[in-house]
Structure 1
Amino acid sequence: MTQLGPRGFDHVETWVFDLDNTLYPHHVNLWQQVDVRIRDFVADWLKVTPEEAFKIQKDYYKRYGTTMRGMMTEHGVSADDYLAYVHAIDHSPLEPNPAMGEAIARLPGRKLILTNGSVADAGKVLERLGIGHHFEAVFDIVAAELEPKPAAQTYQRFLTLHGVDPAKAAMFEDLARNLVVPHQLGMTTVLVVPDGSQQVIREDWELEGRDAVHVDHVTDDLTGFLAALRAAG
């Protein structure tokens, strides 16, 4: 049977969410803190200027999926050292979001997180948001054997480990390129974009893909989107 138009949600039994810039608003710019620490890590490790480190950081991010993967591949960096350093940030800008928690709780079925970050950082974010208890598990970069999204094998590891049928799952992400494989696997895909009324700090390529064929739905209000799904159901 040929799929016409965007995939829907009536069949969804597993709800999969990215973490950073997906489960909290882009304009909080929490990731900006991580971004600065990644630059500092690269500069210190490679003994280059912050400006040169920034160029290397963004090049590796785009080519390898994460700067960490690039630093590991090109320079033999330890993942543990890298993750511990770059995630030592202030999470206080995050505020509890009970409305999102309620919207997630009302979704029928399982809820999982698939992140290129670490379980430790995810735990801190979810604690600040007050929504951690709604999720069954967090699949992080360590569980992915340090191979970040959008690598196909990362999604396969996730699906296998948690027994997820992609044909009965939905994926929520803030990067369109991370939805290519999920869509190919049969998942309903949702791109979470910045609120247009708020200033965000992103690379141009990170904001692309809203009209891509592998993006079924686009929203700048995840809580409202999820609430509307349940209201429609």
Structure 2
Amino acid sequence: MPPPPHDPDVWLFDLDNTLYPARCNLFAQIDVRIGRYIADCLKVDVEEARRMQKQYWREHGTSMRGMMTLHGVDPRHFLAYVHDIDYSPVPPAPELDAALRALPGRKIIFTAGDVPHAERVMERLGVAHHFEAIFDIAAGDYWPKPHQAIYDKLVVRHRVDPTRAAMADDIAINLKPACGMGMRTVWIRTEESVKRAVGIDLDHVHHQTDDLAGWLTDWVAQRSARK
């Protein structure tokens, strides 16, 4: 599927494993914290907590949504606990900073994490000043991507014309609703995201890269050459 004919004037960026490289592996820390939260909350052992964690992820989209639905957990408490991690693996990103500075248009974070998590990551990267807003899991009523309703809510809240927007995400299926709305899509390939995309029709992916900063720099250069 070809990309929309117009250059984007709004860019939506996923956060985890998109704005920072997957090698930082923050999710390994978060994954452990989720298991501990479930074990402590439900008074089960580590093995049972792990089983429930993965079952809730499969059946509810996120482990948090499963805990909310089945056990009445406060998502704010859950998120604060699981994001109490060491952010030092995220390095400053001068190349990304420069690429975002050169990229024309509005820029918004669209994340399945919460605002404090996004702010801590962007502080480490040194790119917070490029983004006008963070649309987090709370803004989406604690539903994860790729639920269509949260994409609809984002474009209304932030006055985004989907046909003049682009979205970058490491999870290929998360780009499908965006494409369906008319957005240009950029898939950030990682070892894990490529595995998760096996068997998925990728017709909704317009561009793909394993280097977001480099891709943005090239896109700006190509845009300038067309002018």
Whether these two folds match at TM > 0.5 is yes
- Tell me how far apart the structure 1 counterparts of residues 208 and 199 of structure 2 sit (CA, whole Å): 10
Match of 2:77 among 78, 81, 85: 81
Q: Which amino acid aligns with 1:222?
A: L
- Tell me how far apart the structure 2 counterparts of residues 16 and 223 of structure 1 sit (CA, whole Å): 14
Aligned length: 223
Q: Does the residue aligned with 2:167 lie in a helix, a strand or coil?
A: strand
The CA deviation string for residues 208-227 of structure 1, in whole angstroms up to 9 with x for no partner, is 46751111111111111111
- Tell me how far apart the structure 1 counterparts of residues 6 and 209 of structure 2 sit (CA, whole Å): 18
Q: Which residue of 1 aligns with 2:216?
A: 226
How big is the shift at 1:10?
4.5
How big is the shift at 1:118?
0.6
How big is the shift at 1:169?
0.5
8 Å CA contact 1:103–1:227 kept in 2: the answer is yes
Q: Which runs of 5+ in 1 are unaligned?
A: 195-199
The 3 A distance-change label for structure 1 pair 11 and 204 is closer
Q: Which residue of 2 aligns with 1:136?
A: 132
1:101 aligns with 2:91: no
The CA deviation string for residues 124-165 of structure 1, in whole angstroms up to 9 with x for no partner, is 000000000001110111111212211111111111100001
- Which runs of 4 or more aligned residues in structure 1 lie more than 6 Å from their structure 2 counterparts after TM superposition? none
- TM-score, normalising length from structure 2? 0.92
8 Å CA contact 1:13–1:110 kept in 2: the answer is yes
The CA deviation string for residues 22-61 of structure 1, in whole angstroms up to 9 with x for no partner, is 1001111011111110111112222222222222222322
Q: Which residue of 1 aligns with 2:174?
A: 178
8 Å CA contact 1:9–1:188 kept in 2: the answer is no
Q: Which residue of 1 aligns with 2:187?
A: 191
- Tell me how far apart the structure 1 counterparts of residues 95 and 58 of structure 2 sit (CA, whole Å): 34
The 3 A distance-change label for structure 1 pair 210 and 128 is farther
Q: Which residue of 1 aligns with 2:59?
A: 63
How big is the shift at 1:205?
5.6
